[in-house]
């Protein structure tokens, strides 16, 4: 039986060379899979590139979803694209040499899953912040199962499903692009699977370390809701998330930028082309544990 082939997309801004070198070393050590890598320089020429990898040099930073799409396009244009895509943050690491092979095996055991999500932990192989667990009931991150969201920087995706729904939404730039892609994959009849026994490592960082976090997170929640949800669910979803977002900002900082992002989202929401999911998709999301109002 031929070994599975995986096309891996890594983004770089040349801002963490030591972490990138370590991440790529663990990627190249993956066994029982054939890996092809593209390193996308988002507004730069990537400086840390493994031997034989493709490179894409974007003249400006077009955001994480756009950069990942550029990597997928480059792999397709190179010919003979693999059946599997893996999106890898440049500071994430494979703790074992069999991670990719095990993820592909999980995907083959769950043919209705468009993506398979490993459990993301800190470098200690144990600590998993709640925000890294791709479901609402996050108190037990070791429990596998069907999920409706994804952790974008460490995820295996079927290429045919990814291509069929148009890939990442490049307009989002940063934050919540995984929720948008997951909803569109569900709308196309797929679901997601959380392979909690398979781990990936990542530094224990917080998204709020980025200056754009509060504004873009608030704006993008409105954008993805306008793009994907049936009209009756829009006020419910946005009402819940507005309360949650404002409460978090008031407690943890960034209230002004959150209000700015909320205003920007409302005034520009029509730039996102609406393609509301069916009520059957709403039911499937609800049955999988996350109704699209929270």
pLDDT (tens digit per residue) in 203-243: 987 765 566 888 998 999 999 999 999 999 999 998 888 88
Q: What is the pLDDT of residues 265-280, one digit of tens each?
A: 999 999 999 999 999 9
- Asked if 50 contacts 28 with a C-beta cutoff of 8 angstroms, the reply is yes
Q: What is the pLDDT of residue 209?
A: 58
Domains of the chain plus CATH, in order, are 5-205 (3.90.550.10), 208-275 (no CATH)
> pLDDT value at position 219?
93
Q: What number of residues does the chain have?
A: 294
Distance CA(133)–CA(140), nearest Å, equals: 9
Alpha helices, DSSP H, located in 134-233:
159-164, 177-187, 213-228
Burial of 250 (0-12, 13-18, 19+ CB in 10 A): exposed
pLDDT tens sequence across 132-178 = 888 877 788 989 999 999 999 999 999 999 999 999 999 999 889 99
Give the Cα-Cα-Cα angle 46, 162, 12 (nearest 5 degrees): 15
CA–CA separation, 17 and 41 (whole Å) = 13
Residue 158 contacts by C-beta under 8 Å, 6 or more apart in sequence?
A: 83, 84, 85, 107, 113, 114, 115, 190
Four-point Cα dihedral 196, 229, 242, 248, nearest 10: 10
Radius of gyration of the chain (CA): 18
Instruction: Write out the two tokens for 179.
Output: 């929720």
């Amino acid at each position: 039986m031929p070994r599975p082939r995986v096309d891996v997309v890594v983004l770089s801004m040349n801002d963490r060379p030591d972490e990138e070198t370590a991440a790529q070393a663990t990627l190249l050590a993956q066994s029982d899979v054939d890996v092809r890598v593209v390193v996308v320089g988002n507004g730069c020429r990537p400086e840390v590139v493994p031997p034989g990898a493709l490179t894409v040099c974007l003249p400006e930073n077009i955001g994480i979803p756009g950069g990942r799409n550029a990597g997928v396009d480059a792999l397709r244009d190179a010919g003979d694209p693999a059946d599997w895509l893996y999106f890898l943050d440049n500071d994430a690491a494979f703790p074992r040499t069999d991670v990719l092979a095990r993820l592909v095996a999980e995907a083959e055991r769950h043919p209705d899953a468009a993506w398979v999500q490993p459990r993301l932990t800190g470098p200690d192989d144990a600590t998993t912040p709640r925000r890294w667990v791709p479901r609402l009931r996050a108190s037990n991150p070791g429990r596998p199962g069907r999920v409706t969201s994804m952790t974008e920087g460490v995820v295996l995706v079927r290429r045919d499903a990814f291509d069929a729904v148009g890939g990442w939404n490049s307009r989002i730039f940063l934050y919540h692009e995984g929720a948008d892609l997951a909803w569109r994959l569900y709308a196309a009849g797929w679901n997601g699977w959380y392979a909690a026994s398979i781990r990936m490592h990542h530094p224990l960082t917080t998204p709020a370390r980025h200056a754009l976090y509060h504004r873009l997170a608030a704006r993008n929640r409105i954008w993805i809701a306008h793009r994907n949800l049936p009209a009756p669910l829009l006020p419910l979803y946005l009402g819940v998330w507005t309360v949650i977002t404002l409460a978090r900002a008031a407690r943890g900082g960034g209230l002004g930028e959150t209000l700015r992002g909320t205003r920007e989202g409302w005034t520009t929401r029509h730039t996102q082309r609406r393609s509301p999911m069916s009520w059957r998709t709403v039911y499937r999301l609800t049955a999988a544990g996350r109704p699209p109002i929270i």
